[in-house]
């Protein structure tokens, strides 16, 4: 069973257990939704994409489970803005040096950029340092 380890930990501690960062389809999350023992799930947008994570979020919401999408705040800030059950946004500033204007948290909140696409532009010098060749 996919949840055996999660359940063992959840039964042993008082802290809510978060999980699912290695799962990325709504099929993967069916056992999470059925058990409801894991109150917050963390699907990975880079593996499932926006549409699938939106489906997961809606199904999780239907059973009272919150979403805290795994990593990639530049993408997940947009997802969290359009789902009914966001818990938090994992902000990792590891790649802020890549962006022309990184979105930065203010007072514990990060608003998604309103520029086109995901709203982040790579610094032009990166393309010189890491040229793409077809």
| Environment class of 96 (CB within 10 Å of its CB; exposed 0-12, middle 13-18, buried 19+) | middle
Closest by CA position to 81, among listed 108, 120, 54: 54
CA angle 54, 81, 97 (to 5 degrees): 105
Give the domains, in start order, of the chain with CATH numbers: 4-94 (3.20.20.120)
129 band by pLDDT with thresholds 50, 70 and 90:
confident
pLDDT digits (tens, 9 = 90+) for 35-65: 989 999 999 999 999 999 999 999 999 999 9
pLDDT 10s digits, 71-84: 999 999 999 999 99
């Amino acid at each position: 069973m996919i949840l055996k380890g999660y359940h063992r930990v959840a039964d042993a501690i008082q802290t809510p257990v978060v999980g699912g960062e290695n799962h990325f389809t709504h099929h993967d999350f069916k056992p999470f939704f059925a058990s409801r023992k894991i109150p917050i799930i963390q699907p990975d947008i880079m593996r499932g994409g926006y549409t699938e994570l939106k489906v997961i979020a809606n199904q999780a919401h239907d059973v009272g489970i919150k979403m805290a999408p795994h990593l990639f705040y530049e993408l997940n800030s947009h997802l969290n803005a359009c789902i009914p059950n966001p818990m938090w946004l994992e902000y990792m500033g590891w790649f802020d040096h890549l962006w022309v204007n990184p979105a930065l948290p203010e007072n514990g909140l990060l608003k998604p950029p309103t520029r086109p696409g995901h709203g982040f532009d790579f610094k032009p010098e990166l393309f010189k340092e890491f040229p793409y060749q077809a």
